[in-house]
Amino acid sequence: MSRNVDDLRNIAVCGHGSAGKTSLVDHLLVKTGAVSGNPNVDDGNSICDFDEEEKHHKHSIEAAITHLEHGGKFLTLIDTPGYPDLIGQTIGALRGVDNALICIDGHAGIKVNTRRVWKESGERGLGRVLCITKCDDQNLDLAALMETIQEVFGPQCVLFNVPLGAGDDVKGVASTVTPPSDVSDAVLDVADLSEKAIETIIEVDDEVMEKYFEGEIPGPQQLMELAKRGIAEGSLTPVVCVSAKKDVGLTELLDLLTAVTLTPADVERTATKDGDTVTLKADPNAPLAAQVFRTRIDPFVQKLSFIRVISGTLKKDDTVATPEDRKGMKVAQLLRVQADKTEPVDEAGPGEIVAIAKAETLHTGTSLGEVQLPAIKFPRPMVGLAVSPKSRGDETKLSSSLHKLAEEDPTIHVEHDEETHETVLTGMSELHLQLIQERLKRRDHVEIETHDPKIPYRETITQNGEGMYRHKKQSGGAGQFAEVHIRMYPFPEGVAVEDFATKERFPQLKNVHYHEASNFLWVDTVVGGSIPGNFMPAIEKGFLERITNGVIAGCKVQDVCVEVHFGKDHPVDSNETAFKMAASKAFAEVFQKSKPSLLEPMVNLHITVPADNVGDVSSDLAGRRGQMVGMDSAGGGMTTVEAKAPLGEVTTYARTLSSMTGGQGSYSMEFAGYETVPGNVQAEILANAKLKEDEE
């Protein structure tokens, strides 16, 4: 039987690397009796970090789903990786929950991924609680850290408890909402903090606030109810202190999570049905609406699809609709997951998280039911490697293994380059690609050879062009004949097809064909049957083949419009192959006449460094053709630099930043778009492409 929605709490435990997230979840599981033992990340027996790579590196690589019970509530905690390179795992987890517990290392403070998960969880309307970990650290300056937290995240962040005792002498925490009688060992003034906390909590209710200032203080239960409203509205962010190692603040954290975090009914979710937007309710009797937010393939090649039920009830042996199978997919088995362990369940209601095994039609982001839930937007991977198996004969095995990795992590892309016959593996960073290689070797027993990162340059044109190509071949028997006349135009990204392909621009417009992946538009304005309509699909194939293979440097073409306006055929010798060839050649020749140009991928960089290193960062960026576009204080003597740079110049930036800052710097990057390559750089790229072509 499914659980009552009001008794469920779904929480992603997130933050920057080494903030103690995994240790915190491990200790909470043990404390509540959900698991037994003495798990420890450093000893390699963590509950959440059960994968071999995680044990080796001593940090999380995948999101781990766990659950526990406390105070009559059922809490699902998803432990997420902390390194920006693995943000895809966190983004997927945030789709499956209603709250984010954002961990901040008491000594290291706010770092780049702390900001990222704060932003991501806020955009999703999740309830947010900040957790200061390692409060037994000798160097913890709680007052300074809170000043930084409020500076970065806002004044609505207030302490809900403070440590009693400092460093190794910490012995507990004291509530600031309902202070105990003895707070003599508190590291900060509890009375002052209590006033600030209560005043922030009651801001959500004018009547309660009015009574408060008249001397009527709300009781503990009412304060918790108001705090939950404040969290839902974003006017309150509780900040709590814990030390997992010393079992300090853990019970208080569990009490708070059960009392004030949002239930599945508190977070509004919408979907589309038949083109209309519908609001989903956490009602077990409503039509089913659920979504896959994570995919995992275990060592026994059992694919697990982790499902968050939004509305309705998902039952074992049910047949449910999916976008790929409208007739329905039978749910053979439902599983409750505890890290790497599973147990069968018969059904799951709104807010519950379960897994389905071996469902090949399910992928991360797939909706279950008659509605379509919003897609999960993952960052675009930008750092590529050409890969091949070390051992001959492992090509098929490698292909299968890479497919599994891409299934598990949507920030991994695998693409086969038809021209170079290379398999290109693209990930978020050098570290991400290194972890992928380790997993291939350990799990799938495939070792690979890699080549330099492949930068995804693009080709485009900067002016209009016109021309034709006649393909004629006669070698006994039936020949080949096709003639295609085209005009070519720059088609800027972001311009709507209907605004470009107008009757004013193309008076003889008949058909429009748009390919979003390359922002390629081609229009058919042929009149009088100079090209029979049955050859138009072959012409399209010729264009697409040339777009894939490139013209001037072997890079994909984008942002181009082609108008097919005239041609000739032969009643005997014309066929699809001839028109495909003519279209490809016509495209290449006119492209060359249209002032072709190379585009390079640009990335936005968010770089957090000690304030003293900002000058070093600026100088280094200038040498990489990058530029600073903004700068903010990150608190604690740190500064966050916002910058933009060509991807090709920052593929190894992690090494440089570590060297510049003595290991104190961190960064994240995201795709920003394509820009024209400077002339001198373009000449070098074209020369290298020509050299490679001559060698082949």
Distance CA 41, CA 377 (A): 31
Distance CA 454, CA 382 (A): 9
Please tell me the predicted confidence (pLDDT) of residue 167: 93
For the beta carbon of residue 146, count every other beta carbon within 10 angstroms.
19
Please tell me the predicted confidence (pLDDT) of residue 31: 97
Q: What is the mean pLDDT of residues 540-565?
A: 95
Residues 145 and 114 sit within 8 Å (Cβ to Cβ): no
Asked if the model's pLDDT at residue 196 lies above 60, the reply is: yes
Tokens for 143? 């007052």
Q: What is the pLDDT of residues 427-461, one digit of tens each?
A: 888 889 999 999 999 888 899 998 876 788 999 99
Nearest to 343 by CA among 4, 24, 34, 70: 34
Distance CA 329, CA 533 (A): 40
Asked if the model's pLDDT at residue 695 lies above 70, the reply is: no
Asked if the model's pLDDT at residue 691 lies above 80, the reply is: no
Residues 193 and 159 sit within 8 Å (Cβ to Cβ): yes
Q: What is the third-level CATH fold of 383-454?
A: Alpha-Beta Plaits (3.30.70)
Beta-bridge mates of residue 133: 105
pLDDT confidence band for 13 (50 / 70 / 90): very high
Asked if the model's pLDDT at residue 476 lies above 70, the reply is: no
Distance CA 227, CA 221 (A): 10
Strand 448-450 and strand 383-389: the pairing is antiparallel
Consecutive H or E run containing 65: strand 64-70
Distance CA 669, CA 429 (A): 9
Residues 6+ apart with CB under 8 A from 616: 609, 660, 661
Q: Walk across the sheet containing 303-311 and list its strands.
A: 341-345, 334-338, 353-357, 303-311, 289-297, 367-369
Q: What is the mean pLDDT of residues 674-679?
A: 94
Percent of the chain exceeding pLDDT 70 equals 97
Residues 395 and 454 sit within 8 Å (Cβ to Cβ): no
Name the pTM for this structure: 0.79
Residues 307 and 353 sit within 8 Å (Cβ to Cβ): yes
Asked if the model's pLDDT at residue 418 lies above 70, the reply is: no
Distance CA 489, CA 409 (A): 38
Asked if the model's pLDDT at residue 554 lies above 90, the reply is: no
Q: What is the pLDDT of residues 374-394, one digit of tens each?
A: 999 998 887 888 899 998 888
Of the listed ranges 113-117, 249-253, 506-510, 690-694, the least confidently predicted one is 690-694
Helix, strand, coil percentages in the chain from 3-state DSSP, rounded to 5: 30, 35, 35
Beta-bridge mates of residue 68: 75
Please tell me the predicted confidence (pLDDT) of residue 694: 67
Task: List C-alpha distances in Å: 321 to 314, 364, 371, 458, 478.
Answer: 11, 16, 9, 39, 51
Task: List C-alpha distances in Å: 536 to 32, 257, 557, 566, 570.
Answer: 67, 62, 20, 12, 15
Question: What is the amino acid identity at position 322?
Answer: T
Asked if the model's pLDDT at residue 337 lies above 60, the reply is: yes
Strand 347-348 and strand 314-315: the pairing is antiparallel
Asked if the model's pLDDT at residue 689 lies above 80, the reply is: no
Nearest to 568 by CA among 469, 466, 475: 469
Residues 487 and 521 sit within 8 Å (Cβ to Cβ): no
Average model confidence (pLDDT) across the chain: 92
Q: What is the pLDDT of residues 453-469, one digit of tens each?
A: 678 899 999 999 999 99
Q: What is the mean pLDDT of residues 507-525?
A: 95
Please tell me the predicted confidence (pLDDT) of residue 326: 66
Nearest to 357 by CA among 422, 434, 290, 302: 302
Of the listed ranges 50-54, 253-257, 489-493, the least confidently predicted one is 50-54
Question: What is the amino acid identity at position 447?
Answer: E
In the 3-class helix/strand/coil scheme, how is 309-361 assigned residue by residue? Answer: EEECCEECCCEEEECCEEEEEECCCEEEEECCEEEEECEECCCCEEEEECCCC
Asked if the model's pLDDT at residue 189 lies above 70, the reply is: yes
Tokens for 192? 């002052």
The CATH superfamily label for domain 270-369 reads Translation factors (2.40.30.10)
Q: Which residue has the higher pLDDT, 90 or 395?
A: 90
Tokens for 277? 């937007």
Torsion of CA 58, 61, 62, 65, to 10 degrees: 30
Listed by start position, the domains of the chain span 7-260, 270-369, 383-454, 463-594, 599-681
Q: Which residue has the tokens 């600073």?
A: 628
Please tell me the predicted confidence (pLDDT) of residue 658: 82
Residues 408 and 432 sit within 8 Å (Cβ to Cβ): no
Q: What is the third-level CATH fold of 7-260?
A: Rossmann fold (3.40.50)
For the beta carbon of residue 622, count every other beta carbon within 10 angstroms.
12
Distance CA 103, CA 130 (A): 6
Please tell me the predicted confidence (pLDDT) of residue 420: 56
CA 685-688-692 angle, 5° bins? 140
Please tell me the predicted confidence (pLDDT) of residue 393: 84
Please tell me the predicted confidence (pLDDT) of residue 457: 92
- CATH, range 599-681: 3.30.70.240
Q: Which residue has the higher pLDDT, 247 or 696?
A: 247
Distance CA 153, CA 116 (A): 11
Please tell me the predicted confidence (pLDDT) of residue 336: 96
The number of residues making up the chain comes to 696
Residues 53 and 442 sit within 8 Å (Cβ to Cβ): yes
Distance CA 281, CA 264 (A): 9
Is the CATH code 3.30.230.10 the one for domain 463-594? yes
* CA 269 from centre of chain: 19
For the beta carbon of residue 261, count every other beta carbon within 10 angstroms.
27
Q: What is the pLDDT of residues 555-610, one digit of tens each?
A: 999 999 999 999 999 998 999 999 999 999 999 999 999 999 999 999 999 998 99
Are both 383-454 and 599-681 of the same fold?
A: yes
Please tell me the predicted confidence (pLDDT) of residue 85: 87
Q: What is the pLDDT of residues 278-335, one digit of tens each?
A: 999 999 999 999 999 999 987 665 899 999 999 999 999 999 988 777 678 999 899 9
Three-state DSSP class for 586?
helix
Please tell me the predicted confidence (pLDDT) of residue 693: 66
Asked if the model's pLDDT at residue 421 lies above 60, the reply is: yes
Following DSSP, what letter does each residue of 176-191 receive, concatenated? SSS--S--TTBSS-HH
Please tell me the predicted confidence (pLDDT) of residue 301: 55
pLDDT confidence band for 73 (50 / 70 / 90): very high
